Chain A
Amino acid sequence: MADSDPVTWRLALAIQSLLQTITKANGYRTDIGLNVLVEDDQSDSKLETVLPVVIDVNKSQRTAQQGVNSRQRGIDFTIESGTVASLANAKQLAHQILADIEKAMDRQAPVSSSSTSGIRSAKLVSSEILKRPEGLPAIVVQCKGTCNYLPD
């Protein structure tokens, strides 16, 4: 992570580092942390068994809360993780991925404080197991979160 990168990109890389800890060896249920990307990707469910986790940090807005630094902004991020699945285990795998992402994010979460900036303010706000198209041997989980930061 280069210090010359904008703070918003450094946040993306920090979330990437956080998710890279998700391995069975570290006590999680899945190994989705083995392939975490910050650029968009496309995988073929027939050719690949380990699908990447992709982080997208996108929508920024000024924090409207009172009592926080007036320069503070919030930025939304999306974590998308897919896995190859069969008819018999697709939803089970999706719930395992979701639980692992929530666990990893919770491990970093500080005592809640709206004024906290940086990766330690990152928190998940919603998650969704995307509707699997019939016949597709894969399932995707999408988690949305937000993070506070002070612009460079």
Chain B
Amino acid sequence: MSNVGVADLDAKIFAGMMRSGLADDAAYTEGTGSPMPCRVIVKRDTQIIGEYGQVVGERTTVSFLRAEVPTPKRSATVTVGTDSWTLESKQHEDESVSEWIVNG
């Protein structure tokens, strides 16, 4: 499959997930720049640190279509509705999708 093919497929997947309510409209912002509208897929899980005084927190990932946000950057923010996160580490990236662990 060509790069264009992968991008087309991912765009259709995002569109389908938007229709199903599984993807969201979002705003991506770098530093003091202007918010950039985009669509994202948010996945939520939990994770734990510690043995005796365990601290439980979210492990949230956000996937961007690179056609909309070509090069997401660490410390940028992404806002979905009332939720806002800071991009912490890139987990996966291919020609069309960039997935990040976010903090917030």
Contacts and interface: CB of A to CB of B under 8 A. Distances in A.
Interface of A: 37, 40-46, 51-56, 78, 80-82, 86-87, 130, 132-140, 142
A77 B52 CA distance: 11
B53 A135 contact: no
B38 to A, nearest CB: 20
Given A53-B53, A136-B57, 17 more contacts: A41-B53, A42-B54, A52-B53, A56-B52, A82-B53, A87-B75, A87-B103, A130-B50, A133-B59, A134-B59, A134-B89, A135-B102, A136-B49, A137-B57, A137-B103, A137-B104, A142-B50
Contacts of B56: 42-45
A51 B50 CA distance: 12
Interface in B21-41: none
Contacts of B48: 133
- Identify which of B47, B52, B57, B75 gathers the most chain A CB atoms within 10 Å of its CB: B52
Question: What secondary structure prevails in chain B residues at the interface with A?
Answer: strand
Interface residues of B, number: 23
Question: What secondary structure prevails in chain A residues at the interface with B?
Answer: strand
B49 A138 contact: yes
Interface in B4-25: none
B49 A140 contact: yes
B88 interface: yes
A142 B58 contact: no
Nearest to B50: A140
B86 interface: yes
B84 interface: no
Given A135-B47, A135-B103, A136-B47, A51 B53 contact: yes
B55 interface: yes
15 contacts: A41-B52, A44-B56, A44-B57, A53-B53, A55-B52, A78-B51, A80-B52, A81-B53, A134-B88, A135-B61, A135-B89, A136-B57, A137-B57, A138-B55, A142-B50
A133 B54 contact: no
A87 B103 CA distance: 7
